[in-house]
Amino acid sequence: MKQFKHKYYESKKKIAVKISRKGRGRTVIEVENKFDWV
């Protein structure tokens, strides 16, 4: 799943990777909602 997350964040934006590092307990869906406007 880590590979999928990394690919997902990379496809969206590098900023998402930074947020994913801060919020390790966050799920892909939660991050997707926050970056839905990106």
Task: Convert the pLDDT of each residue in 11-23 to its tens digit.
Answer: 666 665 565 566 5
Question: What percentage of the chain has pLDDT greater than the value 90?
Answer: 0
Q: What is the mean pLDDT of residues 3-32?
A: 59
Alpha helices in 1-38 (DSSP H): 2-12, 14-22, 28-34
Domain span at residue 15 reads: 2-34
**Beta-carbon neighbour count of residue 16 at 10 Å?**
20
Number of domains in the chain: 1
d(CA 21, CA 9): 11
* pLDDT band (50, 70, 90) for residue 38: very low
3-state secondary structure of 18: helix
- Contact yes or no for 31/16 (Cβ under 8 A): yes
User: What amino acid is encoded at 34 in this protein?
Assistant: K
